[in-house]
Amino acid sequence: DDRLALEVLALDSAQGTKLWGFTLFEYEGAPRIHKKNSHASPTPFFDGDRLFVHFGNLGTACLSSDGKVIWKKSFPYSPVHGSGSSPVVHGDLLLFSADGGKDPCLFALDKNTGEVRWKARRESAAKRKFSFCTPLVISYKGREQIISPASDYVFSYDLEGNQLWKS
């Protein structure tokens, strides 16, 4: 059928057996994506305590290590070929790119609640504004910054969402 079920599952790393799994998000009618993409292309992030899964504009969720849903939300944007940015946790922030066909941006959520802390727009003259990059947090000269590739540019932001530079 045309139903889309986005699932999460945990496997035993020694045996490969399924520990738990269930559907997080369901949709009537699967959105169009590129034939080389999947609705589950982004890689989940485990911070040692919680699992963060991101299906792009179709939903983002935080789960305990035993599979209990702590929060789940959707952050609408219009991807061009499906999603590809994986989420990253740094401190109490969950970061992911939302570089769709319009209004590309970087989201920072409170990892404990899923509430948006900030949303940094990516201003550029790129002909095509979509991309599929994962942010990276680095420390340079004692200052932490988020390095966030996008279409035609690489951006740097501080942890409050202020753009430091773009190149």
Taking phi over 0 as left and psi of -120 to 50 as alpha, with beta for the rest, 103 belongs to left
Distance (Å, rounded) from C-alpha 114 to C-alpha 155? 23
- Residue 1 is predicted with a pLDDT of 66
Give Cβ neighbours of residue 39 (< 8 Å, ≥ 6 apart).
4, 6, 30, 31, 33, 55, 56, 58, 82, 83
Rounded to 10 degrees, what is the CA torsion of 71, 76, 81, 83? -20
* 33 vs 6: which has the higher pLDDT: 6
Strand order in the sheet with 45-46: 45-46, 50-54, 60-64, 69-73
Q: Tell me the one-letter amino acid at 43.
A: T
**Residue 139 in this model has a pLDDT that exceeds 90:** yes
**Residue 81 in this model has a pLDDT that exceeds 60:** no
- The CA-atom distances, in angstroms, between 165 and each of 48, 127, 149, 157 are 32, 20, 12, 7
**How many secondary structure helices (H) and strands (E) does the chain include?**
0, 14
Mean pLDDT of 98-120: 90
- Residue 118 is predicted with a pLDDT of 97
What pTM was estimated for this model as a whole? 0.86
Mean pLDDT of 117-142: 81
Mean pLDDT of 26-55: 79
* 101 vs 4: which has the higher pLDDT: 4
Distance (Å, rounded) from C-alpha 81 to C-alpha 131? 9
**Residue 131 in this model has a pLDDT that exceeds 70:** no
- Residue 30 is predicted with a pLDDT of 67
Q: Tell me the one-letter amino acid at 65.
A: S
- The CA-atom distances, in angstroms, between 91 and each of 41, 95, 141, 146, 156 are 24, 10, 19, 12, 17
- Residue 38 is predicted with a pLDDT of 63
- Residue 37 is predicted with a pLDDT of 59
pLDDT band at 39 (very low <50, low <70, confident <90, very high): low
Question: How many CA atoms are closer than 13 Å to the CA of 45, on its beta-carbon side?
Answer: 22
